[in-house]
Amino acid sequence: MKNVAVLQFPGTNCDLDTKYAFEKLGCNTTVIWHKETELPEGTDLVVVPGGFSYGDYLRSGAIAKFSPIMETVIAYANNGGKVLGICNGFQILTEVGLLPGALKRNIGLHFISKFQTLKVVNNSNEFLQKCNKDEVLNIPIAHADGNYYIDEDGYKKLEANEQILVRYCDEHGEPIVVNGSVTSIAGICNSTKNVFGLMPHPERALEDILGSTDGVKMLEGLIA
């Protein structure tokens, strides 16, 4: 049984959803308050879930990065530990420098909440190892600051190292503009492929009654 630690900040609202998701997949899951300084012994995966940490004041994730637990998460990741950031968690991981680039306000300046099709760009990583390259997944999105930006040199590195995970697309897999992200990027990983971030919410796509089960194969890759 894999041990999953789910972080919780003031304003986090997807922590219990994420805990439920990994428990449903057979994991021992613990919610960790942001003022803690240690992760449970034997942690196999750290998840930084979605929500509005510190009310998104200043900038999404900009205050959460100073929480005590993040120093521990940075050390854990730098030692090869697996970390997944979902939505606000993705924003936090860019703020602390575990992932390159930044998340800006959506191009339309509106909060977007809907199911969205995504194209799997690279599956040469643990997160998407159970997905097929070019597969189209149906995963909910819910964000106001999901416009992913990276400069040209950074983008070239993402491409060369197969760090682009998923792109927003139509039902046929063709890229579309959803929030203004560079080349429709919806998720990336770091160069060593142990830190992953995406704006869509796979933890909300685990049961047919919710509209999709495509999130199962995404999350299962991290606990295989």
Report pLDDT digits (tens) over 93-103. Answer: 999 999 999 99
Q: How many Å apart are CA 186 and CA 179, to the nearest integer?
A: 9
Choosing from 14, 27, 87, 169, the catalytic residue is: 87
What are the tokens at 112?
Answer: 């977007």
**Residue pair 22/34 in contact by the 8 Å Cβ criterion:** no
pLDDT tops 90 at residue 191 = yes
- Per-residue pLDDT reduced to its tens digit, 18-68: 999 999 999 999 999 999 999 999 999 999 999 999 988 888 999 999 999
8 A C-beta contact, residue 204 and residue 210: yes
Which is catalytic among the residues 14, 27, 131, 201?
201
DSSP 134: T
Please say if the pLDDT value at position 174 is more than 90: yes
Nearest to 167 by CA among 155, 158, 177, 157: 177
Average pLDDT for 134-141: 98
Break the chain down into helix, strand, coil percent, rounded to 5.
Answer: 30, 30, 45
Query: In angstroms, what CA-CA distances link 51 with 28, 120, 129, 159?
Result: 22, 24, 26, 29
Q: How confident is the model at residue 58, as a pLDDT?
A: 82
CA–CA dist 98, 114 (Å, integer): 28
> Is there a catalytic annotation at residue 143?
no
The one catalytic residue in 14, 27, 95, 203 is 203
pLDDT value at residue 57: 85
221 pLDDT exceeds 90? yes
Per the annotation, the verdict on 131 as an active-site residue is no
Structural domains for the chain: 3-222 (3.40.50.880)
Q: What is the pLDDT of residue 100?
A: 98
Handedness of CA 170, 174, 177, 182 (dihedral sign): positive
For residues 74-89, average pLDDT: 98
Mean pLDDT of the chain: 97
